[in-house]
A and B are shown apart, each in its own frame.
Chain A
Amino acid sequence: MILMQTQAIFIDAYRELNAKKLFWITMLLSLLIVVVIASLGINEHGYTFLWFDLDFFPGPMGDIDPGEYYISLFSTLGISLWLTWIATILALISTASIIPDLIAGGVIETTLSKPIARSRLFLTKYATGLLFVALQVGVFSAASFIVIGIRGDYWEPRLFLAIPIVLAFFSYLYAVSALVGMMTKAAMPAILLTCLFWAFLFLLNMADGGLTVFKTQTEIMMEQRMNRIEQIEHNTIRLIRSEMNQEEAGSGEGYLPSEAEIEERNPFLPQIKRDLAENQAALKSLTLWYRIVYGIKTVLPKTGETASLLRRYLIAPEFSDETKVDSADPNVFLVNEEQLNQRVDEVYRSRPLWWVLGTSLVFEGILLAFCTWRFTRRDF
């Protein structure tokens, strides 16, 4: 009987989605995005659209494998822009009424009078909301898989990781929507408050991103300054010893000049040290704020990191061990953008999966547990 009831709820959900034009609009838009991805390409001259060369766009740097190009396009255009932004908003609008409709007067009495446990009824109904996104992402991923396979000759089954990843991403927000829908019995507050919560998460991600960049930038500059100080000290000691040896052979061996002596010969060294001290103070402050934001994020859903998981699994990171300095003057310290991006990317990639998904799912679980408890206790 459980299977029959679950099937009935899912069939009803499908009919409800089917009755909503927005479901099909979103599906068509999804396919349109795939068509756009399929239409874009690269050749030896640069980017192409259908059979036209897009000369006005700068071409890719170096040789890029068409497969990698399409994967990157799928990740940026398909996942980051379409599925985790626009399609998610459409999905939230489409599914926001599922829980309010369930508890609406005139329907809930009939449903509760059937031999089905309230907790199972609520959770199954919640799962039907995720069906919307599962269908959308499933179709999008399958279409993208075929397009990338044909156009890029790159058959990458990991593309289908988009389904659980986007589903997890959406489910965090949908849990909030379900909670608001349960409390207010209305779809509009559910949409508005969920979007507000999402905006808060977005701002938190922005703060985290900004702090990560500043912290990493400061760390790189500190590394550069420390390296420079070490280099100057090393060269100065060698020079002093060499001079002493010239004056009296062997007198310089083992000689360790004082700090003042070294600084006397290098007038810019104190400035570098002062800058390093400033960097250290800034890093301390940045680290404190970084930890606070990180701590807040730990207890909240990590929408940004979850959406980036696909990128983490599909696109290999580029490593650079060199501490590059984009300056002709060795005493002017500039952070190389590419290096900074790589280091920031490393920071994000180093965040464990249990932290990204696990803690987010715990948040969702707590919300769902509360909703279920409320639903089972409520009089209708």
Chain B
Amino acid sequence: MDATDAVIDVQGVEKIYRRKVHALRGIDLQVGAGEIFGLLGPNGAGKSTLVKVLMTVISPTKCEGTMLGKKIGDKSTLTQVGYLPEHHNFPKYLTSRQVLHHFGALAGVDRKTRNKRADELLEIVNMTDSASHKLGTYSKGMRQRIGIAQALMNDPKLVVLDEPTDGVDPIGRRDIREILIRLKSEGRTVFLNSHLLSELEMVCDRVAIMVHGLMRQQGTIDELTQGWSGFRIKAHTAISELAFDASQSAVHGVECTGKPGESELVFKTNNAHAVQPAIDALRQHGVVIESLGFHRPSLEDLFIQAVSKEPDGARPGAQKAKKGARS
């Protein structure tokens, strides 16, 4: 992606707590205009810390780059940004309409626009009927909907949502997905931080995987799965060492995942012809093939693969040392 197209373009973001806990270890990130970008990572990866750095909630130890063309930390940028934090807890004495007005006013939206926008957004998040009820009476899902509406009050160019489907039932999740797609169709950029990989897979144009404060992978799902897709051969029983070696010798230059003693091998190639000698070799060694097909890894596969590889210098659980550094 051209850096000039990027809504978020940061390099070398670092956050060190109390000079010893490395929450972010030099993150480079580009988010393009008009795309839905998903940030993945296990707990403690530093996802929320990164989002909070972008939202000026946390000051970075080191950060270069821009958001919407202005330096990270520039408060004026935030007039064009909507943010839903994880575990938000808006005052319970407010009604949802009052929440929208309050945060809309803080975002610099005038009263007339707030009135109009609040009505529109309550309709979009399907909360019009409960608009005059106090938040204390709401379910988690309803509060989440209001949180999303709040993030959209200032008609933002960039919407940052941290775990928007957290605590939301399947119907609510579908509604939120539709909202995200609608936001994209309106030309807004959506930055999504979520644990729910299937949700991300359905809506994201590009994803990034963070592990232990490092950016492990970044790109479209196609880009990331390229090189990981291939033909999966599933045997009825465990493949012997002899059969495994024979299959490896039969194919040249095709990488294979799997080990002797396992019942599954994946040959990383899109070329069906290239795999035939391996199948023959396995059959010759008495391997009963149960299934055979082209395998394209899911986002979950990518995620598990990225998480299982320990990065250099990473210290697992570093975030635990810092209260409030959730991810």
Determine if B87 and A4 form an interchain contact, defined as CB atoms under 8 angstroms apart: no
Number of interface residues, chain B, beta carbon within 8 A: 34
Query: Does A1 sit at the interface, judged by CB under 8 A?
Result: yes
Chain A 1-37 interface mask (CB, 8 Å, partner B; 1/0)? 1001101110110011011000000000000000000
B231 at the A/B interface (Cβ < 8 Å)? no
* Main DSSP-derived SS at the A contact region: helix
Which listed segment binds B: A74-82, A103-111, A200-208, A322-330?
A103-111
The B148-181 residues at the A interface (CB cut-off 8 A) are 150
What's the nearest-Cβ distance from chain B to residue A244, in Å?
Answer: 93
Interface pair A106/B108, CB less than 8 Å apart: no
Contact A105 B89 (CB under 8 A): yes
* Chain B neighbourhood of A379, CB < 8 A: 17, 52, 57-59, 324
Residues in B with CB closer than 8 Å to A9 are: 106
B-chain residues with CB within 8 Å of residue A16 when the two chains form the complex? 91, 93
**Contacts A113-B57, A113-B85; is A380 near B106 (CB within 8 Å)?**
no
Return chain B residues, CB-CB under 8 Å to A1: 108
Chain A residues at the B interface, C-beta cutoff of 8 Å: 1, 4-5, 7-9, 11-12, 15-16, 18-19, 101, 104-117, 377, 379-380
**Quick check: is B198 within 8 A (CB to CB) of the other chain?**
no
Looking at B81, B90, B93, B110, which has the most chain A CB atoms within 10 Å of its CB? B93
Which of B57, B98, B101 has the most chain A CB atoms inside 10 A of its CB? B57
Across the interface, which residues of B come within 8 angstroms of A8, CB to CB? 101-102, 105-106
| Cβ contacts A to B, 16 pairs, < 8 Å | A4-B105, A5-B105, A8-B101, A12-B91, A15-B93, A101-B91, A104-B89, A106-B87, A106-B88, A107-B89, A107-B90, A109-B83, A113-B56, A114-B106, A380-B52, A380-B324
The reply to whether A116 and B93 form a contact with Cβ atoms under 8 Å apart is no
Contact string against A for B residues 59-90, beta-carbon threshold 8 Å, 1 for contact and 0 otherwise: 10000000000000001111101011101111
Q: Is the pair B79, A109 in contact by a Cβ cutoff of 8 Å? A: no
Are A19 and B93 CB-contacts (below 8 A) given A106-B87, A110-B88, A111-B106?
Answer: yes
Chain A residues with CB under 8 A of B75: 115-117
CA distance A258 to B112 in the complex (A): 96
How close is B29's CB to chain A, nearest CB, in angstroms?
18
Whether B106 pairs with A109 at a CB distance below 8 angstroms is: no
Separation of A113 and B67 alpha carbons in the complex (Å): 13
How many whole Å from B157's CB to the nearest CB in chain A?
14
Task: Kindly state the separation between the CA atoms of A166 and B98 in the bound complex, as whole angstroms.
Answer: 32
Q: What separation, in Å, do the CA atoms of A11 and B84 have in the docked complex?
A: 22
Closest to B323 in A: A105
Q: Is the CB of B59 within 8 A of A377?
A: yes
**In the complex, which of the residues B58, B98, B101, B107 contacts A380, with contact meaning CB atoms closer than 8 Å?**
B58
> Nearest A residue to B78 by beta-carbon distance?
A115
- Docked-complex contact B324 and A108, CB < 8 angstroms: no
B94 within 8 A of A: yes
List residues of chain A with CB within 8 A of the CB of B76. 115
A112 x B102 contact (CB < 8 A): no
With both chains docked as a complex, state the minimum distance between the C-beta of B13 and any C-beta of chain A, in angstroms. Answer: 14
